[in-house]
Amino acid sequence: MISSERYISLVIDSSSSRDYAPAICIYCGRDTTTYATFMSIMLSMLVKPGLLLSAASLIWVGGSPPHIAPKKSEESRFIGVEKKGSKTIVMVVSGFLKHTVCITCIAETVVILARSCPSHPFSQVTLDVLCGNASVVDVRITPTFLVGWVLIAAATLLRLTCYRYLGRFFTFELALREGHKLITTGPYSIVRHPAYTGVFLAFAGIALIQMSSGSWWNECAGLWSTVFGKAAASLWLTILGGTLTTFVLRTGAEDKVLRDEFGEQWDNWAKRTPYKLFPGIY
């Protein structure tokens, strides 16, 4: 009779040089470390693909313009106010980020699915291509990944809320549209530029899900363990940081033009809502 303190656990035989086709055996024991490792892998196989694909979808939706670009005449008020190149940076980087996040999330999903079906010929080819010489494919769910996913979900929800409150006045280009109104309700009653707050949250989430331990970039692409990986990580962080700086500068340009357009109405709103991006901070 097996004691109630003992349990059935599953052991992964990692004696092979590659952890692509783990042999699983059932035994009775108290090895909680092995059991926890197995459960982590199973959780990743069952749950992480859905989280990855949903994160990619959320980034795509939150990073896509809700309306067509404004007329040149509607953008004219920002000429000389908006920093030169700001519009180009925003449009190019938003497209680059959407596609990059989608590609990396799909790549990680494919790796996870290949690990779950190790006997399929396509799995070996896939793992060889996407993971190269990695001896252990340790793509998994981590607390950091979950925090990143929550940040991305919150960011997209916030941006979609901004789209709804601003309606046709929300464009990626800085513009005053025909019949433009100053919106001061909803998220705009908390901070003056909540859509940019969403960008900060989204970028933080992207960094966490893609660059932390357990991610495809980190475990398979050698993000922090190779010269190329470190260079790619530095470039990626530079792009994110530079883009966020551009958005911060944009808040000043928007405030100036809106104040000139709406005068006392804007002043009253700024008194009630003194912070641009984060309540109590900035």
pLDDT digits (tens, 9 = 90+) for 32-73: 555 555 555 666 667 888 999 999 999 999 988 888 878 888
pLDDT value, residue 191: 96
The residues near 83 (Cβ < 8 Å, ≥ 6 apart) are 246, 249, 250, 253
pLDDT value, residue 133: 55
Inform me whether the pLDDT recorded for 95 exceeds 90: no
pLDDT digits (tens, 9 = 90+) for 73-92: 877 777 766 666 677 777 88
Inform me whether the pLDDT recorded for 25 exceeds 50: no
- Alpha-carbon distance of 236 to 247, in angstroms, equals 17
- Of the segments 122-131, 188-197, 238-247, which one has the largest average pLDDT value? 188-197
pLDDT value, residue 188: 96
Within 13 Å and on the Cβ side, how many CA atoms surround 255?
A: 20
Domains of the chain, residue spans: 47-272
The structure tokens listed for 200 are 């900060």
- Alpha-carbon distance of 139 to 219, in angstroms, equals 6
CATH of domain 47-272: 1.20.120
pLDDT value, residue 243: 84
The mean pLDDT value for 8-31 works out to 39
Inform me whether the pLDDT recorded for 237 exceeds 90: no
pLDDT value, residue 171: 86
